[in-house]
Each structure stands twice: as structure tokens, then as C-alpha cells.
Amino acid sequence: MTDGPPPRLPLDWIAAALRRERVRVGLSLSELAKRAGIAKSTLSQLEAASGNPSMETIWSLAVALGVPFSALVEPPAPAVRVIRAGQGPAVHSEQSSYVATLLSASPPGARRDIYAVGLEPGTVRASEPHIPGTVEHIVVSAGRVKAGPGGESAELGPGDYMTYRGDVPHAYEALEAGTEFVLIMQHV
């Protein structure tokens, strides 16, 4: 459990994504602001990595740019990424107490299989490489698990998220009785 509210999205991620997508579609600051229904000064501040964007503002910009919401808020991902419970990039609604934390966006053309996994201590589940391009995502709901590819595994607890290549040898080991997690296998 952490003290205080979840962290807000780093503004530099949003600024870089907004500039990238605005330039990609060939829109001026004025035109994008008009299409999104926001002030040009607000958009200018966001692209300068200042301001405090709400979920609604980011959503309006995503719609105006014709991109998924996640394209504006997802950070560049390293090969193995762990998000601890309460530490992911949180987006707050202005209209309710709703807070959403994007763990991972599905890339175009991907297929995902979702599994509920129960695992008990005492054995290691070694997994051979899956088909090329496979990426695994884990969200722990109970207990503790050590997971990931050899040499890059991490220990995770309730609410923690991890992603890694599934097309290399990897393993899962329960560190506590009653360990449960959601495993999402993404095939590109």
C-alpha cells in the first residue's frame, strides 16, 4: 500500500506523444486544439510538458488525432517492465472518482489469450519459448511469484504488473501459498 494518490502521468510522455502524433497527421497547434475542443494555450502547455491534463482532455486529443488513448499515455517500454501496485501512470477523471492505470496497450494486429493462473510453492514452471513475437503480461492478484526470462526475472506481489518476451525460455515460481495471477499471452 502506498501513501497518497497514485502518481500522475509524466508530462514528458504526453508532450512527446502529442507532438509525434500531431506532426504525423500534419496538424497545426491551432487546428488540433480546434478539433479537440480545447484552448490552443492548453495544447501548447501540454506539448511543452507543463499543465495538468485530465482524462477527458487526453481523450479529446486522441479522438481528434485518430489514435487510441493509449498512444498518448503509454511510456516507451523496455524489454522487461514491472509496474508495482499503485505506481503505474494514473489518469484521473474530472467527472467521477474513476482512476485508470494503463498497464499495456495492444499493438495493431495482435492477438491476446488471457489465463487465470494458480501456482503453489515447491516447483518451478519452466516454459519453453512460444512462437516468435510472443509477449507475456502478468498481473498478480494474490501471493508472490518470481517470473520472467532467465537472468531477467522479478519478484511480484499483489497488484504488480510485468511484461517480457515469451519467445525466449522463461519460468514462474510461487513464493507463497495461494499465488494467483492473470497471464496474458500476446501474439503478434
| Residue range 149-167, pLDDT digits in tens | 988 999 999 999 999 999 9
Report the alpha-carbon distance of residue 52 to residue 93 in Å, rounded.
12
| One-letter amino acid for residue 3 of the chain | D
Q: Round to the nearest angstrom and report the end-to-end CA distance of the chain.
A: 35
pLDDT surpassing 70 at residue 3: no
* pLDDT number for residue 84: 85
SS3 54: coil
Q: What is the pTM of this model?
A: 0.55
